[in-house]
A and B are shown apart, each in its own frame.
Chain A
Amino acid sequence: MSRQTLLTQQHALQCLGTALGFVLLRSIATTHRLPPQADEASLYVHWPYCLKRCSYCNFNKYIPRNQNHAVMTACLQRETQTLLQLSQVSRISSVFFGGGTPSLAQPSTIAAVLETVSKHAHLSDEAEVTLEVNPTPAGKASLKDFTLAGVNRFSVGIQSLNDDHLRTLGRDHDSQHALWTVSEARTLCPGRVSVDVMFALPGQSVKSWESELEKLLPVCDDHVSLYQLTLERGTQLFKQVDSGELSVPGDDVTAVMYNSARGVLEKAGFRQYEVSNFAKNNAVSEHNIGYWKGRQYIGVGPGAHGRFVLRAVGGVQREARTQTLEPDVWIREVQRHGHGTRRRIQLDHHGLLEEVLVMGLRMNEGITQQHWKLFSPEDDLQQIFGMSEKVQEFQAGGLLKLNNRGLRCSWEGLALLDSILPTMLLELEMFFKKDCTQGNA
């Protein structure tokens, strides 16, 4: 972005008060409507390092030989500052430290990043600040320091309470460590501890899964995330299953596992608020809800993703941004340019609505009329999907509900969401095509 364009933008903004400026702004707004909630965002910070490689994980993570915490801290701060300034958000609604294994970061790093945030935007004391924790003895020991640094919510990756499964997954903790860590976290952040558990593990039966859940309920706090193990190409586990050394439960079994877990958790007072997330006492993850509600987020750190408007350079559309993957390269880029954004893709109105649709339907409450209206003031859900034969089929089949409250999946529908979404995307596309041709005529 050249200085000249920046000046032009500023000039346009200065015209705001005049009648001419008003007309100018309106014409921009109708062709390129500024996406909603551009004034705030959540912040995701990626810590790319792990102590060892889990057998199922193909995520962006690195096993470092020696680590320079000071450099990493400085770069995370620098990129946070740059991206915050680019976005010109005045408020950061939540922060999430994910990884990798962010509990391997020094608490002072967390503190430094949060300090940077506060320097460039408003970060409320109440804002949710989550840290992903590996339930190892070392992780447990530093929990207190993390809370002192500003963390007020822990997400503990216990994965399983069965030691055989933990070994198969290549985790560096056992079930006892997991219990201790959860207990410590609950003491520090009562009501704000989440646990991650996995099902469809090699050798797991519906029965053993259910008994594992029963074991988990009395020790966990108010939030549970439930993930089905997905075999990713290139992982050790994939190879083991591929070669027949291990076997994972089939589709029918995993369906039973998923649904029985939903039943068990519901009975224990947990409300499912998203495909994989359950909370009681309304202890939902504000940060993650931001993703599903199509709010802006800024991604900092190697491989992090973001979605925000670059208001500082006159952006009117959201951008999907991806940071450079390899930590060393990312560090160099941040040092040189202030950020390590590797890829930028403009999200047009249609593209944004697609994301709002796909992400929104993951939530139990679905997409309310008001929520949709934020992004699509002109065409409501009824107009877009109401006439569709296929949507009517989904409704008749008891999978989808479309009414004056909004659009959402039924209990059965939520489990089949990925079969429903391609059709919904096509309907949306067809609506826009029709709209477009009518508009031209």
Chain B
Amino acid sequence: MKVFKKKSQSLFTNLTPDLENLDMSKFPVERIRNFSIVAHIDHGKSTLADRLLEITGAIAKTASNKQVLDKLQVERERGITVKAQTASLFYQHDGQTYLLNLIDTPGHVDFSYEVSRSISACQGVLLIVDANQGIQAQTVANFYLAFEAQLTIIPVINKIDLKNADPERVEKQIEKVFDIPKEECIRISAKLGTNVDQVLQEVVKRIPPPTARVDDLFKALVFDSTFDHYRGVVANIALFGGRVSRGDKIVSAHLGKSYEVNELGLLRPDEHPTETLYAGQVGYVIAGMKEVKEAQIGDTLYLHKQPVEALPGFKPAKSMVFAGMYPMDQSEYTALRSAVEKLMLNDSSVTVQKDSSLALGAGWRLGFLGLLHMEVFNQRLEQEYNASVIVTAPTVPYKAVLASAKLIKEHGEEVITIINPAQFPDKSQVVKYLEPMVMGTIIAPDDFTGKIMTLCQSRRAVQKNMFYIDEHRVMIKYIFPLNEIVVDFYDQLKSMSSGYASFDYEDAGYEAADLIKMDFLLNGRPVEELATIVHKDKAYSAGKAICERLKESIPRQMFEIAVQAAIGSKIIARETIKAYRKNVLAKCYGGDVTRKMKLLKKQAEGKKKLRRIGNIDVPKDAFINVLKRK
């Protein structure tokens, strides 16, 4: 570590102030810029961040500097950023040293909540667009997030070194879709470092400094937090006024609890302690908080006995996708629980509820911001904690508007949210059912328009608008029921467009829907863990598909098994598992006994673990095959 520091210092002494005795009072608000980089996946956000860090001397220039800010293994693998990371950069401009705070953001809209957190600490964004691919669905989503927050947007066209780069076309797209004059675009190659310095100059020139006064009372926004096993909660804060120093007593506006500041400083991106942080600056603070809950994202911190008006809080993360999570084997329950708890320490956007299934045992129902979020969570669970889990197919939260005053009184509210099909109220009890909707944006070459429209129609989508962002690429907006895109929509879209279509979505509220509860029966007996909520139009195909999967995964038995999908008392799909007609080992003499006994005893042991429905033995695998994500 020491070696690394020395090396970086010797390289950048003329650029950076004396890091060992950093006096943060030398950076008044006028010489501070807070900004984010936003981009579609793989457009080069993290590579640009690496270059900015190198140029300003925050990290040494080595070949291994690949996406320094992407700390999680899953982030490096998937080329996405999940957890927002922050780095303070010192930059010389016109003879002055500026403090540029780069607040990195997740690249996917599932994490738009994280994006909005980060954005609220910024005054501007760099909107990266790939010079070859042009505007993609997430570029649009990210643009609107920044636009609505009234931030300065600097369009940056990256990868101009690529053979097929066409920056001119991309500039035209930006002009057409975002109404930003093409002269404002900066053409760069983050990989080669081309024009990256110009990006920094423009950050200083175009992005306004934060509006914060050092003479005001101390007031800071908690925009992120991480958990460290040795030091407790590390909160990332943006100072909206005043100053804070080591030893100060601070108070959380949300909880009213007070803490003493043990350590604070800059993130470069590694923690770099300082004595004091001043208005407009961004950094970290460690103040003896034991749980992430104590550093709620969006909370306001102030000095003891010097209360301030709290900053407008953030909306709490809203779970859009739910999935059951169970240990592969119940003996792993405790280990999995501790793994889930550890992950949740660093991801407050996951919600958790205990759940249990007759087939899969004890587990949890987890709520995620979106599909990618769920996948990332699972992958982290597997990679970082070595836990093997069964994850059930995702479902969405439905709602029901209750019909009578009596029912409303019973539930304590008029509109109830249904996460578990077992709680689905009967039609006679409700005025209407509601399902969550999303506004989906698809950008694709126009050759695929026909196919995409057919796919979307099959997903009950309603087209909202469509326009050409250049001669060959079209942007189509659809309102989708969220349920229709949670399973395999994106994969289908990708494969039918040879990978050229991009897709993104944002919350679009709830709409009334013809929802029904579908049961699955084995020889007439309902299997409660398989009950599911579906749209009436999809009942037949969904019922048939699940019956087929059950047929494939329940082994033949000594009698015939009817596998049925039912709505109320009406059977809408049926498959038959024919009875075994022969199952006996042909040969069994003296030399076969040992092997035969071993096999039979294994089967007998296995039978103990089977779930018995009526007289049918159903192996756990069958439930897994039906319930899990494909």
B588 within 8 A of A: yes
Q: Which of B601-616 contact A (CB under 8 A)?
A: 601, 603-604, 606-608, 615
Query: What chain B residues lie within 8 Å of A256 (beta carbons)?
Result: 581
At the interface with chain B, which of A114-122, A176-184, A411-419?
A: A411-419
| Cα-based distance from A415 to B586 in the complex (angstroms) | 10
B584 within 8 A of A: yes
At the interface with chain B, which of A63-71, A225-233, A328-336?
A: A225-233
Secondary structure class of chain B's binding surface, majority of residues: loop
Query: What chain A residues lie within 8 Å of B607 (beta carbons)?
Result: 422-423, 426
Known: A425-B601, A426-B604. A322 touches B594 (CB 8 A): yes
Q: Are B586 and A230 in contact (CB under 8 A)?
A: yes
In which size bucket is the chain A interface?
35 or more
Chain A: CB-nearest residue to B587:
A227
A39 within 8 A of B: no
Known: A275-B586, A418-B584. A303 touches B591 (CB 8 A): yes
Q: Are A419 and B593 in contact (CB under 8 A)?
A: no
| Cα-based distance from A44 to B556 in the complex (angstroms) | 37
CB distance from B591 to the nearest CB of A (A): 5
Q: Which of A252, A418, A423 contacts B583 (CB 8 A)?
A: A418
The 8 A CB mask of B553-587 against A (1 = contact, 0 = none) is 00011110000000000000000001011111111
Query: What chain A residues lie within 8 Å of B95 (beta carbons)?
Result: none
A174 within 8 A of B: no
B230 within 8 A of A: no
Query: What chain A residues lie within 8 Å of B594 (beta carbons)?
Result: 305, 320, 322
Q: Are B588 and A359 in contact (CB under 8 A)?
A: yes
B590 within 8 A of A: yes
Query: What chain A residues lie within 8 Å of B606 (beta carbons)?
Result: 422
Query: What chain A residues lie within 8 Å of B556 (beta carbons)?
Result: 251
| Cα-based distance from A355 to B589 in the complex (angstroms) | 12
A37 within 8 A of B: no
Known: A275-B586, A288-B589. A425 touches B600 (CB 8 A): yes
Q: Are A422 and B604 in contact (CB under 8 A)?
A: yes
Q: Are A419 and B557 in contact (CB under 8 A)?
A: yes
| Cα-based distance from A291 to B603 in the complex (angstroms) | 22
A317 within 8 A of B: no
Q: Are B590 and A418 in contact (CB under 8 A)?
A: no
Known: A320-B594, A423-B607. A417 touches B601 (CB 8 A): no
The 8 A CB mask of A243-267 against B (1 = contact, 0 = none) is 0000000011011101100000000
Known: A397-B558, A423-B607. A305 touches B591 (CB 8 A): yes
B596 within 8 A of A: yes
| Cα-based distance from A421 to B557 in the complex (angstroms) | 13
In which size bucket is the chain B interface?
20 to 34
Q: Are A419 and B583 in contact (CB under 8 A)?
A: yes
Q: Are B597 and A422 in contact (CB under 8 A)?
A: no
CB distance from A225 to the nearest CB of B (A): 8
Chain A: CB-nearest residue to B584:
A417
Query: What chain A residues lie within 8 Å of B558 (beta carbons)?
Result: 397, 399, 416, 419-420
Query: What chain B residues lie within 8 Å of A254 (beta carbons)?
Result: 582
A358 within 8 A of B: yes
The 8 A CB mask of A359-372 against B (1 = contact, 0 = none) is 10010000000000
| Cα-based distance from A286 to B589 in the complex (angstroms) | 12
CB distance from B416 to the nearest CB of A (A): 41
Q: Are A44 and B557 in contact (CB under 8 A)?
A: no
Known: A422-B607, A426-B608. A44 touches B582 (CB 8 A): no
Chain B: CB-nearest residue to A354:
B597
Q: Are A258 and B596 in contact (CB under 8 A)?
A: no
Q: Are A307 and B604 in contact (CB under 8 A)?
A: no
A106 within 8 A of B: no
Q: Are A226 and B600 in contact (CB under 8 A)?
A: no
Tell me which of B582, B594, B596 has the highest count of chain A C-beta atoms within 10 A of its own C-beta.
B582
Query: What chain B residues lie within 8 Å of A419 (beta carbons)?
Result: 557-558, 580, 583
| Cα-based distance from A418 to B596 in the complex (angstroms) | 10
Q: Are A291 and B590 in contact (CB under 8 A)?
A: yes
Q: Are A422 and B586 in contact (CB under 8 A)?
A: no
Partner-B contacts on A (CB < 8 A): 44, 46, 98, 226-228, 230, 251-252, 254-256, 258-259, 275-276, 288, 291-292, 297, 299, 303-307, 320, 322, 354-355, 358-359, 362, 393, 397, 399, 414-423, 425-426, 429
Sample (10) of A-B pairs whose CB atoms are under 8 Å apart:
A44-B591, A227-B587, A251-B581, A354-B597, A355-B597, A415-B584, A416-B558, A417-B583, A421-B603, A425-B600
